[in-house]
Amino acid sequence: MRIALLAASAASLLAIHPVHAADLAATAAALRDKALKDSTAWDVTESLTTEVGARPQGSPGMDRARDWGVAKLNSLGFENVHVETFEAVSWMRGAESAEVVSPYPQKLQILGLGRSTPTPAGGLEAEIALFKTLDEMLAQPPGALKGKIAVVTQKTRKTQDIKGYAAAVRARSSGGAEAAKRGAVAYLVRSISTDDTRLPHTGGGGVSGIPTAALSTPDADLLERMVARGKPVRIKLAMASTQRDKAPGYNVVGEIRGREKPEEIVVIGGHLDSWDAGTGAVDDAAGIAITTAAAKLIADLPQRPRRTVRVVMWGAEEQGGSGPAYAEAHKGEVGNIIVAGESDLGAGEIFNAKLPQGSLGHPAMKAFAAAILPLNTIISSEPAKNGGSDIAGLQQLGVPVTEFQQDAGRYFDLHHSADDTLDKVDPKELAQNVAVWAAFVYTVADSDIDFRKAAGQ
């Protein structure tokens, strides 16, 4: 009886979704094989990091990245290539330095956090109050840190996924504001990083009203050892920065128009902006390259897919603004956006694919699963919950999302630091990403799958 019911269910699915599943699977597999040999993603990553380099929101580098994105999409044959302009905060770093002045004078390696307040001219000097976890600092009452530089040295655990980072990042994002509430004059945090180099990692620090900066991981350890010796430790900190609350930002868009239902859209992409310390190779030139190359492979098929594939290079993910701006600009077409996905975890291999709720049994997703089986990518039984920062706005409006989990074992050694450079990208791992994305996007774009119906919406 169970076998008969399963057979009837499969027949029903095929009747509801008139897709030639075998052809869909065969084409997805062919795309996979071609992606593993294709150099487009590497060429795009190399081009962006070499010809533009660092590209913080609101900087001349971001202006160059905008023009690069338009030229690149046009050269690859995308249609409807255009720029969507919005306004967002632009925080720009100036000169920075930190040093222990007593009892053991030494230089420290720091990077200011986004939205940090500059120090007074000439810097500031104060005794530090060191805490090995953020929770230890949060246990301090208001006023307990008056006149001191608060230091949190909490470590980030290395994990294959983002769980280690997610558990540690609040020390960076909210620590400064919490330190200020307790009277601190500045805040230093151990880089939210899994590396052991003396290269600090920047990132968004939130609005706190005091200078905030990330310490290199060895320097965080150094301060712990100094404090353990029992003498007061004093630091001199000098930081300059500028901030514009309304600077122009850019989302760069290109499409592969669908042959039958061009109004139905699959939205994919990565973020074009980066922090300033490195050249933004893993964060996120790789994501731009992966999704652009996947769409290009689909465009080169003898026949375009039924639906439109839209690639978006979001322009202000790091400092915030591009995702909400995109959702606002496209809220009128949300009902026609079939699914959205963002690649923003470097170029490590995709080991797990989370799909929209209720879609695992659809012939298109079965074709996708069959195509990626040789890539050592598992189809998760858990539905996608977080597709990425830049598609969170679309997700809130009801757009289904996909979530491809990459091996992040090395990603948090690199991102937001001077070590985020092209040589850290593995071409074979990059190609594996393209293969997974191309197979997924094609099976969605050339089928009639409706993720909202599958989820019972």
Catalytic residue positions? 317
- Centre a 10 Å sphere on the Cβ of residue 456 and count the other Cβ atoms it contains: 7
Nearest to 352 by CA among 431, 450, 436: 436
CB 434 within 8 A of CB 296: no
Q: Can you give the length of the chain in residues?
A: 457
Q: Which amino acid is at 195?
A: D
Task: Return d(Cα 103, Cα 115) in angstroms, integer.
Answer: 31
Is 137 in contact with 197 (CB distance < 8 Å)?
no
Residue in 286, 276, 421 with CA at minimum distance from that of residue 342: 286
* Contact status, residue 200 vs residue 111, Cβ threshold 8 Å: yes
Q: Helix 21-37 crosses helix 427-445 at what angle (to 10 degrees)?
A: 160
Which phi and psi (to 5°) does residue 299 adopt? -65, -30
The dihedrals phi and psi of 100, each to the nearest 5 degrees, come to -80, 125
Q: Looking only at Cα atoms, what is the longest distance across the chain?
A: 81
Residue 238 host element (H or E): strand 234-256
Tokens read off for 365:
């997703």
> Do 453 and 25 touch, CB atoms closer than 8 A?
no
For the chain, counts of helices (H) and of strands (E): 16, 14
* β-sheet bridge partners, residue 99: 107, 236
3-state secondary structure of 41: helix
- The 10 Å Cβ neighbour count of residue 102 is 14
How far is CA 292 from each of CA 47, 243, 250, 346, rounded to the nearest angstrom? 13, 32, 17, 14
Single-letter amino acid code for the residue at 189 = V
Residue in the structure block whose two tokens are 């504001």: 177
Task: Provide the edge-to-edge strand list for the sheet that holds 403-406.
Answer: 378-379, 350-354, 403-406
